[in-house]
């Protein structure tokens, strides 16, 4: 137990010096007195060896050597004094034995001191080391505690000596219990690892400890030597590093993307938690994980993108379908950036995959709906135009380009529209443009285009002001190619006009008797007036006043006949409709006049409302007259079989509201059955044997073409009221 004894020796040597030296001196004096002045016949000087040993145990090697020499001198002096020149063989032999004993003891003591010094120096060196060195016995009692241990734990050697080490320092190990560490040390002769201890001031220190078992010559465990380094700072740094790593990992795991990093050739060696949730795990036996998870159809493109990125060192940007754990492929955006070393060489790649399945589906749905819209636009020949005002930045759809017959790369503009507009309609386009610049909420205009090949297109443009985007006013509009519709409408109008003409001619045939009467009556009156004038002239004294009166009648009747013929001619003529402002009441009165004979022939009473005031409408005279006559003729025919009641035709006009005039033709005829009332205005519907069934259908076309409406109200067996309304011309000026 050298380590146990050495400190005690080293401490005791200094302290015991004062007590040992006098003792040694006393013994030396006593031995000398006995040896020199008594006659005892034994080798008393041998006891000087005790003096040497005492001094050696407390003094230095020099002191010991000096004391040894002193003892030799005292032995020789004592020998000479006690024998006074008479030396017997026995006394010489005793003296020699004593000297040998002193010499042997001194040599052994000096050697022992030499080795003790060596050990002490080594011990001092152990004290000097920064490491904490502790020796403790099998019961954990501290037997050595160097300065390093004092600095590390705060207890002095004196405080620590004899204390149970693990209890004193509250030793803990993160890897295993203390008992196991002890067993391990006893079994294998040593242990090393990290421990946590409490300092004297209560602070925790982390140490790296190395224990070595000390055995005696027979192999029996004596003590454990433990050297320890303070690794608290390193440990704290490691903990901080770990914390930062954990935080970084948690941050990376929290990123709503699948983060990965790869070696410079692009083989991933790290994937974050989201990959695991997705069902993708890195495996040692799989070198290139992309091959196993990327859709086979997308793999070549992705590999090509990788090769390109690796070759050029540029960022990777691609999309691919990646398989999930349930086998479903989802579209992902794959992006990666290279990390370079100081020389600019790529060391690693850091990438993020973002699930864009929803975005892709939305995009596909958008593409589909765009395709649908494009198809629908082509089929309906309707293009769209978005216009920002006042800059007039425009966006045209494909169909709009087709309608304007402009190549797709040309930038759309108002000037381009003007260039394509028919010269006669350029004012319409200008007005629409001005309305847009004024910010009107709704724009609706129809105009023609004159294309480069000379063809003409009719277009209908409708636009409305949409919610302002970023403070800009924008019109969203539709441009419809209505050429077919307009052409068809024109054809329809032509055939309607022709049909109306045919109907009028037919009607004139039916009115022949009435017309003939209307024409012959003024002619007969002219003849009568002519005769009268001749008679007034042939008198002996011609009465010129009467002649003048007769000529006046002739002129009036001739005018009337001319008017009737003009009306008949107009009705018989084939001509395009030409609207003009006229009085609906005057028109009704003329119609009654024309049919007066017909009405009289059928014994029909005519009743009118006040037809004298003016109801100004802007219409084609002949067409509206046709409508009124047609309604009256139908009424005449409906009443032809009525004998049980008065045949009465009532024509009434009035202003419906601020904007419309209404004309009603009411009869007391057969009326219309509920069933027939729905088909009344259908072409070729007739209940008459000689009827064609197109009269009312033409009437409806004419009225609706004038912006009006026609309908019937009837009570079967009691009569019918046919009525129509027309927009008033300048309603404010119309007298009521
Ligand atoms: P048509 O006179 O050649 O039959 P219209 O189109 O003028 O052709 O009339 C269609 C049908 O409507 C008539 O056949 C008749 O049945 C019915 N109708 C028209 N006006 C009257 C009316 N005022 N009273 C009863 N029926 C009428």
pLDDT given at position 717: 83
- What is the arithmetic mean of pLDDT over 8-22? 56
pLDDT given at position 471: 66
pLDDT tens for each residue of 249-275: 888 888 878 899 988 877 888 888 888
Q: Is ligand 1 within 6 A of the CB of residue 683?
A: no
pLDDT tens for each residue of 620-667: 988 899 899 999 999 999 999 899 999 999 999 999 887 899 999 999
pLDDT grade for 8, boundaries at 50, 70 and 90: very low
Tokens representing 634?
């139908």
Neighbours of 313 (CB within 10 A): 11
pLDDT given at position 730: 66
Asked if the model's pLDDT at residue 2 lies above 70, the reply is no
- Distance from the alpha carbon of residue 604 to the mean position of ligand 1, in angstroms: 18
Asked if the model's pLDDT at residue 43 lies above 90, the reply is no
pLDDT given at position 479: 95
pLDDT tens for each residue of 214-235: 888 888 898 999 999 899 999 8
Asked if the model's pLDDT at residue 13 lies above 70, the reply is no
pLDDT grade for 469, boundaries at 50, 70 and 90: low
Q: Is ligand 1 within 6 A of the CB of residue 669?
A: yes
pLDDT given at position 336: 93
Asked if the model's pLDDT at residue 493 lies above 90, the reply is no
CA distances to 429, 477, 574, 685 from 415, in Å: 11, 17, 42, 52
Task: For the chain, give every domain's residue range.
Answer: 2-126, 130-237, 257-355, 362-481, 577-736
- What is the arithmetic mean of pLDDT over 113-121? 81
* Ligand 1 atom nearest to 692, measured from its CA: 3
CB 381 within 8 A of CB 481: yes
Percent of the chain with pLDDT over 70: 95
> Does a cis peptide bond (omega within 30 degrees of 0) precede residue 426?
no
* Ligand 1 pocket: which of 634, 639, 701, 721 to mutate (most atoms within 8 A of CB): 634
Interstrand relation of 190-198 and 132-137 (parallel, antiparallel or unpaired): unpaired
pLDDT tens for each residue of 372-402: 888 998 988 999 999 988 888 899 999 999 9
Closest CA to 199 of 237, 240, 171: 171
- Distance from the alpha carbon of residue 293 to the mean position of ligand 1, in angstroms: 80
Tokens representing 372?
């649908």
Q: Is ligand 1 within 6 A of the CB of residue 722?
A: yes
CATH of the domain spanning 577-736, picked from 3.30.750.24, 3.40.50.300, 3.40.605.10, 3.30.565.10: 3.30.565.10
Neighbours of 570 (CB within 10 A): 13
DSSP H stretches of helix in 154-195: 157-160, 165-169, 178-188
Asked if the model's pLDDT at residue 15 lies above 70, the reply is no
Mean pLDDT score of the chain? 87
Q: Which residue has the higher pLDDT, 202 or 284?
A: 202
* Ligand 1 atom nearest to 696, measured from its CA: 6
pLDDT given at position 683: 85
Asked if the model's pLDDT at residue 12 lies above 60, the reply is no
- What is the arithmetic mean of pLDDT over 419-424? 95
Asked if the model's pLDDT at residue 10 lies above 50, the reply is no
- Distance from the alpha carbon of residue 633 to the mean position of ligand 1, in angstroms: 9
Tokens representing 26?
């006393």
> Residue 700: enclosing H or E segment and its boundaries?
helix 695-705
Partners of 479 in beta bridges: 383, 461
- Distance from the alpha carbon of residue 698 to the mean position of ligand 1, in angstroms: 12
CATH 1.20.1560.10 fits 362-481, yes or no: no
What would the DSSP string read from start to end of 308-366? HHHHHTPPEEEEEEEE-TTS-EEEEEEEEEEEE-TTS-EEEEEEEEEE-HHHHHHHHHH
Q: Is ligand 1 within 6 A of the CB of residue 294?
A: no
- What is the arithmetic mean of pLDDT over 480-493? 89
pLDDT given at position 18: 65
Asked if the model's pLDDT at residue 21 lies above 50, the reply is yes
pLDDT given at position 468: 64
Interstrand relation of 346-355 and 329-340 (parallel, antiparallel or unpaired): antiparallel
Partners of 333 in beta bridges: 319, 354
- What is the arithmetic mean of pLDDT over 62-85? 88
Neighbours of 683 (CB within 10 A): 15
Q: Is ligand 1 within 6 A of the CB of residue 633?
A: no
pLDDT given at position 385: 94
pLDDT grade for 202, boundaries at 50, 70 and 90: very high
Q: Is ligand 1 within 6 A of the CB of residue 693?
A: yes
d(CA 26, CA 575): 171
CATH of the domain spanning 257-355, picked from 3.30.1370.100, 3.30.450.20, 3.30.200.20, 3.90.1300.10: 3.30.450.20
Tell me if domain 257-355 and domain 577-736 are identical in fold.
no
pLDDT given at position 736: 36
pLDDT given at position 208: 93
Atom 14 in ligand 1: residue holding the nearest Cα: 686
- What is the arithmetic mean of pLDDT over 554-570? 87
- What is the arithmetic mean of pLDDT over 307-334? 91
- What is the arithmetic mean of pLDDT over 539-550? 89
* Ligand 1 pocket: which of 627, 675, 686, 724 to mutate (most atoms within 8 A of CB): 686
d(CA 363, CA 176): 59
Partners of 253 in beta bridges: none
The fold of the 130-237 domain, in CATH, is Beta-Lactamase (3.30.450)
């Amino acid at each position: 137990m050298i380590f146990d004894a050495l400190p005690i020796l080293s401490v005791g040597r200094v302290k015991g010096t004062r007590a040992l030296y006098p003792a040694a001196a006393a013994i030396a004096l006593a031995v000398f007195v006995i040896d020199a002045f008594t006659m005892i016949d034994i080798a008393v000087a041998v006891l000087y060896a005790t003096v040497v040993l005492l001094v050696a145990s407390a003094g230095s090697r020099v002191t010991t050597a000096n004391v040894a020499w002193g003892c030799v001198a005292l032995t020789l002096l004592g020998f000479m004094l006690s024998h006074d020149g008479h030396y017997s063989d026995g006394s010489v032999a005793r003296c020699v034995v004593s000297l040998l004993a002193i010499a042997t003891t001194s040599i052994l003591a000096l050697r022992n001191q030499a080795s003790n010094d060596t050990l002490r120096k080594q011990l001092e060196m152990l004290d000097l080391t920064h490491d904490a060195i502790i020796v403790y016995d099998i019961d954990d009692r501290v037997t050595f505690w160097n300065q390093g241990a004092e600095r590390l734990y705060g207890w002095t050697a004196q405080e620590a000596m004899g204390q149970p080490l693990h209890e004193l320092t509250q030793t803990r190990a993160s890897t295993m219990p203390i008992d196991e560490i002890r067993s391990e040390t006893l079994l294998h002769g040593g242990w090393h690892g990290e421990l946590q201890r409490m300092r004297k001031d209560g602070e925790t220190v982390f140490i790296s400890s190395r224990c070595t078992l000390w055995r005696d010559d027979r192999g029996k465990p004596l003590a454990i030597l433990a050297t320890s380094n303070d690794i608290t700072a390193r440990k704290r740094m490691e903990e901080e590093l770990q914390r930062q790593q954990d935080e970084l990992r948690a941050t990376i795991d929290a990123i709503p993307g699948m983060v990965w990093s790869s070696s410079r050739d692009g083989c991933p060696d790290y994937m974050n938690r989201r990959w695991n949730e997705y069902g993708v795990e890195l495996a040692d036996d799989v070198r290139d994980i992309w091959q196993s998870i990327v859709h086979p159809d997308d793999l070549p493109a992705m590999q090509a993108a990788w090769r390109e990125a690796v070759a050029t060192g540029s960022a990777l940007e691609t999309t691919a379908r990646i398989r999930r754990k349930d086998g479903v492929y989802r579209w992902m955006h794959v992006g990666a950036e290279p990390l370079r070393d100081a020389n600019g060489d790529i060391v690693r790649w850091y990438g993020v995959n973002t699930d864009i399945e929803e975005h892709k589906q939305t995009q596909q749905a958008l593409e589909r709906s765009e395709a649908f819209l494009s198809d629908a636009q082509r089929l309906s020949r309707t293009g769209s135009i978005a216009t920002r005002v006042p800059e007039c930045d425009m966006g045209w759809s494909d169909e709009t380009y087709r309608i304007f017959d402009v190549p797709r790369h040309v930038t759309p503009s108002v000037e381009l529209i003007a260039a394509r507009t028919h010269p006669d309609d350029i004012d319409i386009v200008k007005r629409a443009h001005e309305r847009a610049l004024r910010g009107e909420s709704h724009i609706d205009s129809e105009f023609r285009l004159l294309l480069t090949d000379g063809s003409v297109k009719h277009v209908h443009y409708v636009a409305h002001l949409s919610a302002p985007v970023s403070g800009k006013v924008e019109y969203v509009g539709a441009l419809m190619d209505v050429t077919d519709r307009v052409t068809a409408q024109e054809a329809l109008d032509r055939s309607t006009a022709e049909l109306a003409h045919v109907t009028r001619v037919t009607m004139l045939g039916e009115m022949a008797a009435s017309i003939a009467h209307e024409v012959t009556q003024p002619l007969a009156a002219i003849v009568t007036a002519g005769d009268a004038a001749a008679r007034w002239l042939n008198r002996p004294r011609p009465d010129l006043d009467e002649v003048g009166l007769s000529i006046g009648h002739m002129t009036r009747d001739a005018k009337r006949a001319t008017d009737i013929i003009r009306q008949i001619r107009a009705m018989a003529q084939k001509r395009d409709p030409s609207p003009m402002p006229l009085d609906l009441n005057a028109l009704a009165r003329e119609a009654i006049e024309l049919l007066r004979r017909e009405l009289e022939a059928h014994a029909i009473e005519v009743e009118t409302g006040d037809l004298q005031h003016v109801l100004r409408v802007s219409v084609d005279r002949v067409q509206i007259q046709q409508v009124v006559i047609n309604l009256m003729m139908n009424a005449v025919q409906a009443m032809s079989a009525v004998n049980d009641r008065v045949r009465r035709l009532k024509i009434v006009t009035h202003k419906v509201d601020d904007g419309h005039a209404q004309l009603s033709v009411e009869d007391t005829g057969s009326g219309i059955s509920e069933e027939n009332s729905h088909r009344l205005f259908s072409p070729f519907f007739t209940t008459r044997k000689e009827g064609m069934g197109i009269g009312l259908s033409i009437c409806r076309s004419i009225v609706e073409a004038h912006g009006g409406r026609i309908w019937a109200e009837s009570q079967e067996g009691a009569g019918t009221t046919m009525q129509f309304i027309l927009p008033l011309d300048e309603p404010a000026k119309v007298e009521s």
